[in-house]
Amino acid sequence: MTRYVVHLPVVAADLAGAIRLARVAAWSVRFLPQADPRATTVSTEANPDVRHRTFCDAALPNGRPCLLRADHDGPCSRRIHRLPAEPGR
């Protein structure tokens, strides 16, 4: 079966912002059976062949995918870990 890939260009000020936007966009369509959020990558317009992964590509011991960002610290997980709020915020 032939697979087709949809490319949706967006504009971001920097790589970190582009990765955040890509993760949000990918996560928002995860309910579609055709979507593969874990394969989401980011590249510059000038160099589309150099891609940056947005999700970790590791599998957990039970075979399920890690849901954390590609460069996360610590062990892989199915839950997104949030930092505690700063005091006074």
The tens digit of pLDDT for each residue in 29-78 reads 989 988 888 889 999 988 889 999 999 989 899 988 888 989 899 999 87
E-assigned strand segments in the chain = 41-42, 52-53
First-to-last C-alpha distance (Å) of the chain = 52
Type of residue at 1 = M
How far apart are alpha carbons 89 and 83 in whole angstroms? Answer: 13
Tell which residue, 77, 3, 83, 19, has the closest CA to residue 27: 19
- pLDDT > 70? residue 89: no
pLDDT of residue 87: 61
For 15, the 3-state DSSP assignment is helix
